[in-house]
Structure 1
Amino acid sequence: MAPTDETAQVTQDTAPPGTTPPAQPPAGAEAGHGARMPRWLPRAMVLALALVACFQLGSWAFHQLTGLLINVLIAFFLALAVEPAVSWMAARGMRRGFATFLVFLSVVIASAGFVALMGSMLAGQIVDMVEDFPDYLDKVISWINQTFHTDLSRVEVQDSLVHSDWLQKYVQNSASGVLDVSAQVLGGLFQLLTILLFSFYFAADGPRLRRALCSVLPPAKQAEVLRAWEIAVDKTGGYLYSRGLMALISGIAHYILLQVLEVPYAPVLAVWVGLVSQFIPTIGTYLAGALPMLIAFTVDPWYSLWVLIFVVVYQQFENYVLQPKLTAKSVDIHPAVAFGSVIAGTALLGAVGALIAIPAVATLQAFLGAYVKRYDVTDDPRVHGHRRQVGAPLLARMRRALRGPNRPEAPAEPGGPSPKPGKRG
């Protein structure tokens, strides 16, 4: 019988008699050899860890530099706002750096003068309130005694106030917080200096900055970048100058009112109302009018009411007459969009975002309008909010359908066309 493949395999695996069978390899040797770690896996793990470390480092650096980035953003918009004036002086032969210095010097002098006037006014009002406090207290005590039939004296009230626990705690907390206030003031001054320095460099070296930016872009992209820069300058400068003009008009109007009412510190209050009402959108007018109302109340309570009425009336005049004419070409942004942009800017960057939100959105809107294709709108009444009226033939057909086929038609009016003959059922 010839051996088959299976019997041949068995005879090969079986060792001859009297010999030691060969050692078999371990069962998991081949499996272990196949499960060895790939060469790319350690490199991938190291690369993943490096990417995570870089992300964490970048996130930490971004959070640490958030304040500096906000200052640079403010400085950039401030440089865009003053660039038209700087370019105007540079076009007439003045060096750009010196022109920028003159513009910023004017801004600093005006701001310092305004702060000094406001400080003197507030200091004078505080001194007057402290000097008149005993008279106010006597009037209040006399009113309480007459109304509630009590027997209070000013000396007792003053002693109770001076020796009260809450006053002592307030004085202690105020004394301990003086150092914190000083640190905040120094930090604010350093932040202001940083913004002025960056904005000066942005405005003075504007052409060099544009050349450096365009040098890393292809020619097709350079035109788009320069176009966007030009739009940003026009919108930001136009927003600032239109707001400045409206602040001037508002200040003059309120100054006339305060002078007529003989309210003290009328020039300072007029400047306050003009600036705050224009550069704090939507609610700035009412916030600015609170201080003149308070000062007018110290003269005569009825004067504060007249100031309130004037503020409300002037706000309506500004919204519906003055502002559309002055900002139609400079900003051209819908009031609802402006209000929403202010809210979004406040949520993102706080008070700084509220100030730069409108020029930023106006710049974005103008940039998109320059590249988005627009079409003519069809002459449809629904575009203007009117419903399209149904034609008379359609109404006649509907009436005939409602009457039914067996119902005779209504007789024609005298002088009208006679009905056409038709089949009767």
Structure 2
Amino acid sequence: MPRWLPRAMVLALGLVAAFQFGSWAFHQLTGLLLDVLIAFFLALAIEPAVSRMAALGMRRGLATFLVFLTLVVASAGFVTLLGSMLAGQIITMIEGFPEYLDSVINWVNATFHTELRRVDVQEELLHSEWLRSYAQNSAAGVLDVSAQVLGGLFRLLTITLFSFYFAADGPRLRRAVCSVLPPARQSEVLRAWEIAVDKTGGYLYSRSLMALVSGVAHYVLLEFLDVPYAPALAVWVGLVSQFIPTIGTYLAGALPMLIAFTVDPWYAVWVLVFVVIYQQFENYVLQPKLTAKTVDIHPAVAFGSVVAGTALLGAVGALIAIPAVATLQAFLGAYVKRYDVADDPRVHGHRRRVPARGLLTRVQGLLEHARQLWGERSTRAAETGADPSGSTAAAGEETTGKSAAGRGDAGEEAAGKRAGQQG
């Protein structure tokens, strides 16, 4: 057996073991890596605000803390408004349940000619096996829900801490990254970092502004229709429609429609019509103007990036897909040489029309043409020594004289013939 064979076998087994261990570790740390990725993009989003406050003389740590405090207060206010709205609706439904049940029983009795009573229905519901099993499963699922809530809070705390450190120690982190790179690569990394901050911050800014406009517009409608919990519903529509890609608009509009339906079914129809009209206004008027200088990606590219991000990373990929693609597009665009586009209707999408000439332009053209003809006639008259204005009259007199002379000669010839015949 060759000497190198045992050593090669040990090396191969070591590589396989290292690969297996790396795959297992990556699988175990997937959640942490996603949290770090979310924290990094969150730090990029708040980097402009932190940098402005630091430029005014404030320490970066304090500036980052104030920004996060503002975000926490806004999130807590939103959750409080939404929770109070849901709690109020649940209490209203519980208090009105007997009336709903009576209306259903009356409809069934009138339609199917039965004699149901509310007491009988309540007894059947209380002693049903389905309700008992549902209550047992719900009690057992409380522990699972509690564990999920605690896990979500721990994950939120992890994201907050990582994003705080990324934003507060941004310059130090950039120095650490650039210290292991050559100078040429350092400039590229810093430029990519700057583009990422610009695009991610611009994405958050534009989305926040559109959420504000959407919330105010829907608040005016809901307040006009006298729908309860109009402020909470307006905040819900603004945030959900802008920060949940693809399906956020439908989720945002469903809750106001449901609440409006409890007041009047026609109110739900009006809310649906307003949501559809406002969505068109936002897509074709508001969003292009706000995102032209911040994100600047085509809507089809944005939709495709959201779909790809969802397929790769789930909800996290859907959230960070648009700023990530905008950053990549802006970074690669600096290295792509662009040329002037040919003036062709296949490029512009329509045939370019020559602008119609006005009446004044046509009159000026006719006058210019007449002036050119008069100049040519004057030139020819100067060469022959005649007056251009009298050339026509002279020609007429010459023609008249020739005609008269011809008539005189013809008369003399006719008189001579008559005299010869008489002789």
TMscore range, shorter length: 0.7 to 0.9
Q: Equivalent of 1:363, from 324, 327, 342?
A: 327
Q: Read off the aligned partner of 2:37 and give its amino acid letter.
A: L
Runs (4+) off by over 4 Å? none
Q: Which amino acid aligns with 2:71?
A: V
- Which residue matches 1:191? 155
CA distance in 1: counterparts of 2:22 and 2:8, whole angstroms: 21
**Amino acid aligned to 1:266:** A
Please give the alpha-carbon distance, in whole angstroms, between the structure 2 residues aligned to 1:113 and 1:295. Answer: 20
* Aligned: 1:169 with 2:133: yes
User: How far apart in 2 are the matches of 1:226 and 1:377?
Assistant: 32
Which residue number in structure 2 is paired with residue 411 of structure 1? none
Partner secondary structure for residue 371 of structure 1: coil
Matches within 5 A, 1:323-342: 323-342=287-306
After TM superposition, give the deviation of residue 387 of structure 1 in Å: 8.7
One-letter identity of the residue aligned with 1:147: T
Equivalent residue, structure 1, for 2:116: 152
Shift in Å, 1:343 = 0.9
Higher normalized helix content (fraction of residues): 2
| % identical aligned pairs | 85
Q: Which residue does 2:83 correspond to in 1?
A: 119
| 1:320-399 equivalent positions in 2, closer than 5 A | 320-385=284-349
- Given the alignment of the two structures, is residue 232 of structure 1 paired with residue 196 of structure 2, yes or no? yes
Letter in 2 for 1:111: S
Q: Which residue of 1 aligns with 2:186?
A: 222
Q: Which runs of 5+ in 1 are unaligned?
A: 1-36, 389-425
The 5 A counterparts of 1:15-414 are 37-385=1-349
CA distance in structure 2 between the partners assigned to 1:70 and 1:105 by the alignment: 23
* SS of structure 2 residue aligned to 1:160: helix
Calculate the aligned-residue CA RMSD, in Å: 1.2
Deviations 1:311-359 (A, max 9, x none): 0110001001100000011001111111111111111111111111111
Deviations 1:155-188 (A, max 9, x none): 1111111211111111000001111111110000
User: What number of residue pairs does the alignment pair up?
Assistant: 352
With the length of structure 2 as denominator, give the TM-score of the two structures: 0.82
Q: Give the whole-Å Cα distance in 1 for the aligned partners of 2:239 and 2:346.
A: 42
Judged with a 3 Å threshold, the aligned counterparts in structure 2 of structure 1 residues 47 and 387 are, in CA distance, closer, same or farther, namely farther
Q: Aligned AA for 2:2? A: P
The separation in 2 between residues aligned to 1:306 and 1:385, in whole angstroms, is 38
Q: What letter is aligned with 1:201?
A: Y
- Of the structure 1 ranges 49-58 and 377-386, higher mean CA displacement relative to structure 2 is found in 377-386
Larger Rg: 2
What amino acid is aligned across from residue 88 of structure 2 in structure 1?
G
Work out the CA distance in 1 between the residues paired with 2:245 and 2:280.
Answer: 14
- The TM-score with structure 1 as length reference comes to 0.81
Q: C-alpha distance in 2, partners of 1:370/1:113?
A: 42
Task: Give CA deviations for 1:345-374 in whole Å, capped at 9, x if unaligned.
Answer: 111111111111111111111111111111
Look up the equivalent residue of 1:108 and give its one-letter code.
Answer: V
Contact kept, 8 Å, 1:286 with 1:311, in 2: the verdict is no
In structure 1, C-alpha distance between the alignment counterparts of 2:327 and 2:120, rounded to whole Å = 64
Residue 386 (structure 1) shift: 5.5
Q: Give 1:282 deviation, angstroms.
A: 2.8
- The 8 Å contact of residues 234 and 330 in structure 1, kept in 2 or not, is answered as yes
Q: How much has 1:385 moved relative to structure 2? A: 3.8
- Superposed displacement of residue 384, structure 1: 2.7
Paired with 2:244 and 2:262, the residues of 1 have a C-alpha distance of 26
Q: Which amino acid in structure 2 is aligned with residue 321 of structure 1?
A: V
Structure 2: gaps of 5 or more residues: 353-423
